[in-house]
Amino acid sequence: MKGVILAGGSGKRLSPLTDYTSKLLLPVGKEPMLWHSIRQCYLAGIQEILIITSANIVGQIAKSVGSGHKFGCSITFRVQEYPRGIADALLLAEEYTGEENFIVLLADNIFEYSLHPYIQEYKRQKKGARILLKSVADPQRFGVANIEGSRVTSIVEKPQTPSSHYVVVGCYMYDKKVYELIRSVKVSSRGEMEITDVNNQYIIKGELAFSELVGNWIDAGTFSSLNEANLFLLKNNNIILKQ
Ligand code: G1P
């Protein structure tokens, strides 16, 4: 299975830290944030990785990660010309992933444990999509899952009044049908093609499964969560890398 790491975005919420550098190169623990996603891929047995990023930061990103050799991986780059959202960026992976199922990681997401078990579950699932849910105290910051019984019936992006505490974390597993579904979604009110709309299409088809994520998870996109991620990895990085 191949991995796609989405490493674009302006990181506006972290200005001025991100005025001259990519959010994904800010230190988290002892390494740049992006390295965490690459190491997660490697730990999960994924050695072929596509990094999708923006034109203004692709140089810095390539300088930081190189060919992937130092991680035991082979890294390819693609540039998303305009910031039109996660789903739009993912379209750039179509040729790279071809017929295969693949995993997508958002590069500002930090996970306590290896994602390997969830990938194994997805391999058994074989087709459709699989997402990971985590119960959090501040669901309105994320895509929130409406759950009935043991089913996710819909996902709402950043609702003001969330219907549950279960949010969609930045790790998605897809089959090649995802590209057709992305092309069917419309641009949202925030001017983006939302990955949540794509996942809702899988729900309508009855092809979206989920696992509950075990362990800590941090979306390091704000000052306080960046600080939290930094402290967490400083304390735990050695454990994570040895999993
Ligand atoms: C994105 C997704 C959201 C998800 C989150 C996880 O939000 O749109 O559904 O819960 O990543 O980090 P964004 O970080 O683009 O605001």
Q: How far is the CA of 159 from the centre of ligand 1 (A)?
A: 12
Mutation to probe ligand 1, out of 106, 164, 190 (largest number of atoms < 8 A from CB): 106
Average pLDDT over residues 178-191: 94
Instruction: Please report the DSSP string for 79-148 in residue order.
Output: EESS---HHHHHGGGHHHHTTS-EEEEETTEEESS-SHHHHHHHHHH-SSEEEEEEE-S-GGGSEEEEEE
Q: How far is the CA of 18 from the centre of ligand 1 (A)?
A: 19
Are 130 and 210 a contacting pair, CB within 8 Å?
yes
- pLDDT tens for residues 152-175? 999 999 999 999 999 999 999 999
Bond into 27 cis (ω within 30): no
Neighbours of 229 (CB within 10 A): 25
Tokens 């010309």 belong to which residue? 81
Q: What is the pLDDT of residue 236?
A: 86
Inform me whether the pLDDT recorded for 41 exceeds 80. Answer: yes
Q: What is the pLDDT of residue 34?
A: 97
Q: What is the pLDDT of residue 242?
A: 53
Which atom of ligand 1 is closest in space to residue 168's alpha carbon?
10
For the record, the structure tokens of 16 come out as 């001025």
Between 212 and 242, the higher pLDDT residue: 212
Q: How far is the CA of 168 from the centre of ligand 1 (A)?
A: 7
Q: What are phi and psi of 219, to 5 degrees?
A: -90, 105
Inform me whether the pLDDT recorded for 217 exceeds 80. Answer: yes
- pLDDT tens for residues 88-132? 999 999 999 999 999 999 999 999 999 999 999 999 999 999 999
Q: Number of C-alpha atoms within 13 angstroms, CB side, residue 173? A: 28
Instruction: Please report the DSSP string for 179-214 in residue order.
Output: HHHHHHPPP-TTSS--HHHHHHHHHHTT-EEEEEPP
What lines the ligand 1 site, CB under 6 Å? 86, 106, 109, 142-143, 157, 167-170, 195-196, 219, 221
Q: What is the pLDDT of residue 10?
A: 76
Q: What is the pLDDT of residue 9?
A: 78
Among candidates 160, 185, 177, which has minimal Cα distance to 86? 185
Are 32 and 25 a contacting pair, CB within 8 Å?
yes
For the record, the structure tokens of 219 come out as 């979306």
Mutation to probe ligand 1, out of 132, 195, 208, 217 (largest number of atoms < 8 A from CB): 195
Which atom of ligand 1 is closest in space to residue 167's alpha carbon?
10
Average pLDDT over residues 183-191: 92
Is the pTM higher than 0.85? The answer reads yes
Q: How far is the CA of 196 from the centre of ligand 1 (A)?
A: 8
| Nearest Cα residue to atom 16 of ligand 1 | 142
Q: How far is the CA of 143 from the centre of ligand 1 (A)?
A: 6
Q: What is the mean pLDDT of the chain?
A: 95
Q: Number of C-alpha atoms within 13 angstroms, CB side, residue 62? A: 12
